[in-house]
Copies of this chain bind each other. A is one copy, B any other.
Amino acid sequence: MELNEAKQAFKERLKLLDAYDHAMGVMYYDIETAAPKNAAAGFGDTVATLSEVTYKLSVNEEVFEVLDFLTAHADELDEITRREVEEVQKGLRLLRNIPIDEWVEYQRAQAEASNVWHEAKVKSDYAMFEPHLKKLVDFTVRFAKYAAPEMDPYDYWLNEYEEGFTQDVLDKYFEKIKAGLVPLIHKIQEKEQPDVSFLHREYPVWKQREFSDKLMEIMGIDRDDCAIGETEHPFTTGFNKHDVRITTHYHEDALESNMYSVIHEGGHAIYEMGNSDEISESNLSGGASCGMHESQSRFYENLIGRSRAFTDLVYPVIKELFPEQFADVTPDAFYRAVNRAEPSLIRTEADELTYSLHVLIRYEIEKKLLHGELDTKDLPAEWNRLYKEYLGVDVPNDKAGCLQDSHWSSGSLGYFPSYSLGSAYGAQILAGMKKELDVDKLVSEGKISVITEWLREHILKYGQLKKPAELLRLSTGEDFDPDHYVEYLKDKFGKLYGIE
């Protein structure tokens, strides 16, 4: 094989697969935002058919041959192609090493588990889900051994979801979270809480839609490159840097819910739109990792969006759109309300301060499950014990407890930590940024685009060309250091609640 020939075959196959990904991605966006309810069956059929086509296009000896040839000649490749080859190899590592019939069996188990989980959650009936979860845990351990026999299985999966992060790093990370935040959270539980009732007055949906447009404008999001859709569980998807979609949901009695959905998803969108042209056209578009993507969404949502400078910037916009609802609300009351910190049961509704404790609990449980130290039968008891210990709350039932998230039902064990890492990355990046920019002043003046430009130059433009750890060093001059995150939270919430 010639190098150029192999490179061309590789690039052509990527382009072809990209077309399928794009089409299926649009179908997914459509089914979540626009399709009628009964479209689900036809959607499922088509995605299954096209997935089979792409599976055959990706997983075959001809492809492996080209890939292995390019891997062997990695030094002769340009940087982008080299990383593309690396990423594709990484994506195939598992598939190349497991017997195909186990893979098929796993997919069936996954689909079943996902179905049962939906019903089990509605009924708050963990017992019906338990045997399915057990099966998935077994698969997860077995697959890790096929792909990386030399690694601890949980380390394998953690590293899959967030490259470079295994238990040695995460144990220390979560230890700091626990030591730094649990006492603070317990102290806040004794303090008086700010009033949030005005956030739950009647905010007509058609006016909230206008508010979303305003927020995207404030964030400097170019609407020619980014659309907004409506869905039940907001998400962002990007097909290339000029075609990104955020989604949100509207509740007439919850102004904050849509507001911070738009800002959070807007942060994801800014990442996708911030890739350099070269990266956007390559197979390295998007974000460096789940955690790094989450760092950007939470950067805008919390570090910027819940700062005093930002709530003051948005306050007059809300006053204009909702003069009656905000008639008696001061800028200070607004700032305090969106920063109310209170231990709660549901991860996705958690506030900035308590969020990582929810993740910590899942991390501890996953670790035990994958090491056979916790039987799936005993999971609810362990879950409830940890929620009491770290967050001080009593879990009333499994629906509000260990059945709340979909991740385990789709076989994703090891994914949760990246949510928390995102916040920690963000705090570290903000500290790095503050060495060069007066962030609060820029926000006060509505110059969010200057902040975005800094992020673009240091992080966003690279897409997946560089890995999370490297991007942290590039943008902050330091290795990953969770102290920034813990300090940021202690400082912010200490002041808010008058502690120390």
Name A residues whose Cβ lies closer than 8 Å to a Cβ of B: 15-16, 18-20, 22-24, 26-27, 29-30, 33-39, 41-43, 45-46, 49-50, 53, 206, 223-227, 229, 239-240, 242-245
Contacts and interface: CB of A to CB of B under 8 A. Distances in A.
Given A19-B45, A22-B42, A27-B26, A36 B206 contact: no
Given A50-B23, A240-B42, A34 B37 contact: no
Contact of A242 (B23, B39, B50): B39
Nearest to A240: B42
* 9 shortest interchain CB distances as A-B pairs: A39-B243, A38-B242, A206-B206, A19-B49, A23-B23, A37-B224, A36-B227, A22-B46, A19-B46
A43 B223 CA distance: 17
Contacts of A33: 34
Contact of A38 (B18, B34, B36, B225): B225
7 contacts: A22-B46, A23-B23, A29-B30, A34-B34, A36-B226, A42-B240, A42-B243
A239 B42 contact: yes
A68 to B, nearest CB: 26
A36 B242 contact: yes
Contacts of A15: 49
A242 B41 CA distance: 9
Contacts of A244: 36
A169 to B, nearest CB: 37
Given A27-B23, A42-B22, A34 B229 contact: yes
A240 B46 CA distance: 12
A16 B34 CA distance: 24
B243 A49 contact: no
Nearest to A43: B243
A49 B225 CA distance: 22
Contacts of A50: 19-20, 23
A227 B22 contact: no
A41 B206 CA distance: 31
A315 to B, nearest CB: 24
Contacts of A42: 22, 239-240, 242-243
B49 A16 contact: yes
Contacts of A19: 45-46, 49-50
A234 to B, nearest CB: 15
A224 B24 contact: no
A34 B227 contact: yes
Contact of A224 (B23, B27, B36): B36
Contacts of A224: 36-38
A30 B26 contact: yes
A179 to B, nearest CB: 45
Contacts of A36: 223-227, 242-245
A34 B243 contact: no
A39 B280 CA distance: 13
B35 A23 contact: no
Which one of A16, A37, A39 has the greatest number of beta carbons of chain B within 10 Å? Answer: A39
Contact of A35 (B27, B38, B53, B243): B243
A35 B244 CA distance: 8
Given A22-B27, A36-B242, 16 more contacts: A19-B45, A20-B50, A23-B26, A23-B46, A26-B26, A26-B27, A29-B34, A30-B30, A34-B227, A34-B245, A35-B243, A38-B225, A38-B243, A39-B242, A39-B243, A42-B240
Contacts of A27: 22-23, 26-27
Contacts of A240: 42
Nearest to A227: B36
A18 B243 CA distance: 26
Contacts of A243: 35-36, 38-39, 42-43
Contacts of A223: 36-37
A361 to B, nearest CB: 38
A169 B71 CA distance: 67
A245 B34 CA distance: 9
A63 to B, nearest CB: 17
A39 B37 CA distance: 26
A266 to B, nearest CB: 14
A34 B226 CA distance: 10
Contacts of A24: 23
Contacts of A45: 19
A272 to B, nearest CB: 12
A54 B242 CA distance: 26
